Structure 1
Amino acid sequence: MNALAARFNAIFGADMAGPLAALAAVLVVFSFASPHFLTGATFGSVAFQLPELGVLTLAMLMPILTGGLNLVTFTANIAGLTLAWTLQANGGIDAGPGAFLLGSALALAVGAASGLVMGLVIAFTRAHPILVSLSMMIFLRGLGEFLTRGGDISGFPTFIAPIGHGSILGIPVPLLILIACVIASHILLSRSKLGFSTYMIGSNIESARYSGINTRKVLVLVYMLSGVMAAVAGIIMLARFNSVRVGHGESYLLITVLACFLGGINPFGGFGRVLPVFVALIVLQLLSSGLNLLGANQHLTTAVWGILLIVVMVLRWFSAKFIRIVK
């Protein structure tokens, strides 16, 4: 048994056991609960619904690894609004590809600027990341509500729709974007100096500083990349919904945190990988689809996610306590 566990850890990593067990449990339970669960329609729905949540979770991941936090949904909203305003200013539904490219570049710049401000404040004032993130969230929400008068912006060129609904060789385009973001994040965290420094800061920022790491620079870069990733999610949401408003994606905030913790990310930073988080995202989306097939509404699904977050934290506490007893 120990040899089997050691081989599993060598192939997948110890942090993959929880997400894979949760995936197996969800598949088994809902396959018995509903005959329509293990169908192409369910998995097709998951493939189209997962990407914006997945990219937002990746945007949340890097700040958490440093021991921080970024409430990314409103950065995604303001980035989506930036793209929408650019398209509206260049003809709305008649806007051309050039306007879309310009708007996307501006959206990514807005996301990076949001992260830059947060990173600078956290790095140089040592303010608590939760307070800085809450302040930025309130600012972005208020700014968005002021500029849109609480309404939405809709009516975009038809060539944008495939980004949210199209397929290439049967694979949804937004899923391909998510996979590209997952690969990029995995390489960044596991193969780059920035990734190594991110883990070091999350483990012990003072030790990282004394070891020669420019912790301020790393924190600023981490939050900028988080903002850019959130902007990518905002662009996907605009294409999927064909509209943008300040509240879009707000319900995703809890799930991004839950996916990180279910994927084995240490909430205090310093430990965690991208691939287990990706599996955890699939688990949560399958859970949502399964509950929908059983007739549960979105409010019950949100309640289940909240309870699941508590259960995950309790189980991790028991697991840590058990490991200490065994040692």
Structure 2
Amino acid sequence: LKANGGADAGFGIFLVGSLLAVMVGAASGVVMGLVIAFTRAHPILVSLSMMIFLRGLGEFLTRGGDISGFPPFVGVIGHGSVAGIPVPLIVFVLCVLAWHLLLGRTKLGFNTYMIGSNLEATRYSGINTRNAIVLVYTLSGVMCSIAGIIMLARFNSVRIGHGESYLLITVLACFLGGVNPFGGFGRVIPVFVALVVLQLLSSGLNLIGANQHLATAVWGILLVGVMILRWAVSRIKISIVRRGS
């Protein structure tokens, strides 16, 4: 972007840069999906490996510095509004609806739940599990790219590792939203509600003048509490079943 005008660049250059960013995210997802699908490596290990690779590559390309100085119209994406609704919130809701429909109304969504429940049984049922895995990771990479573009517009700068601070929030939102870490169960809308609750919690702490880092500490304690609560609920269910039998 800087090489093509910097702060005076036109919308066309920004659009090309955004499309390239989405393509890079999709390509990263394709690579991860292929590795996981064909080698059956653990998804978490593959994700961490890709994160380290992309971070190192980004540090090399940017020489560890920030990239800033974007055209004024980019700020509209991060701080603008339509009918009083912030643009980032509109993009977020559209993405939530897209994933809700994809997981609940499409063949890919059904296959994703099946793979999460039992990969081998899904493969023996005739479903092409490799294609489904690669496609899901590709779409996830596209979502990461869109999130990066929104962050660029909000901060008016880009730095490698900006999104790493949201890793804990992502995991916590999934746990609060009822996503099974072992796969096979999870819905988009409950995760969306969990994100809203976490944001309200963060905003409440800011309103009372609490330290910004206190929110991270509260989220960490909340994550541990959710895991303990899930364990307790599972034990209670097992006890009820045993008594009933």
TM over 0.5: yes
1:304 maps to which residue? Answer: 218
Query: How far did residue 128 of structure 1 move?
Result: 1.0
TM (norm. structure 2) is 0.96
AA at the equivalent of 1:156: F
Identity of aligned residues (%): 77
Query: How far did residue 311 of structure 1 move?
Result: 0.5
2:92 maps to which residue? Answer: 178
Query: How far did residue 260 of structure 1 move?
Result: 0.5
Q: 2:35, 2:161 → 1: CA distance?
A: 25
Q: Does 1:234 align with 2:175?
A: no
Which deviations, in whole Å up to 9, do the C-alpha atoms of 1:285-309 show, x marking residues without a partner? 1111111222222222111111110
1:105 maps to which residue? Answer: 19
Query: How far did residue 149 of structure 1 move?
Result: 1.2
Q: 1:304, 1:103 → 2: CA distance?
A: 37
- Aligned residue for 1:251, secondary structure, equals helix
Stretches of structure 2 lacking an aligned partner (at least 5 in a row): none
- Aligned residue for 2:163, secondary structure, equals coil
Q: Does 1:269 align with 2:183?
A: yes
One of 216, 231, 245 as aligned partner of 1:317 = 231
2:124 maps to which residue? Answer: 210
1:32 maps to which residue? Answer: none
One of 43, 65, 68 as aligned partner of 1:129 = 43
Q: 2:180, 2:159 → 1: CA distance?
A: 32
Q: 1:279, 1:303 → 2: CA distance?
A: 21
One of 160, 184, 193 as aligned partner of 1:246 = 160
The structure whose RCO (Cα within 8 Å, separation 6+) is larger is 1
Q: 1:118, 1:298 → 2: CA distance?
A: 34
Q: 2:181, 2:78 → 1: CA distance?
A: 31
Which deviations, in whole Å up to 9, do the C-alpha atoms of 1:36-86 show, x marking residues without a partner? xxxxxxxxxxxxxxxxxxxxxxxxxxxxxxxxxxxxxxxxxxxxxxxxxxx
Query: How far did residue 247 of structure 1 move?
Result: 2.1
Which deviations, in whole Å up to 9, do the C-alpha atoms of 1:201-248 show, x marking residues without a partner? 000000100111111111100110000000000000000000000021
Which deviations, in whole Å up to 9, do the C-alpha atoms of 1:117-144 show, x marking residues without a partner? 1000010011111111111111111111
Query: How far did residue 325 of structure 1 move?
Result: 1.9
Q: 1:165, 1:326 → 2: CA distance?
A: 51
Q: 1:134, 1:179 → 2: CA distance?
A: 27
TM (norm. structure 1) is 0.73
Q: Does 1:92 align with 2:22?
A: no
Query: How far did residue 181 of structure 1 move?
Result: 0.3
- Aligned residue for 2:111, secondary structure, equals helix
Q: 2:78, 2:238 → 1: CA distance?
A: 47
Q: 2:165, 2:86 → 1: CA distance?
A: 23
Q: 1:282, 1:275 → 2: CA distance?
A: 11
Q: 1:99, 1:90 → 2: CA distance?
A: 7
Stretches of structure 1 lacking an aligned partner (at least 5 in a row): 1-86
One of 171, 178, 182 as aligned partner of 1:257 = 171
Q: 1:214, 1:325 → 2: CA distance?
A: 39
One of 106, 118, 122 as aligned partner of 1:192 = 106
Alignment coverage as a number of residue pairs: 241
Cα RMSD, aligned residues only: 0.9
Query: How far did residue 89 of structure 1 move?
Result: 2.4
Query: How far did residue 152 of structure 1 move?
Result: 0.3
1:161 maps to which residue? Answer: 75
Query: How far did residue 170 of structure 1 move?
Result: 0.5
- Consecutive aligned runs of 4 or more in structure 1 exceeding 4 Å deviation: none
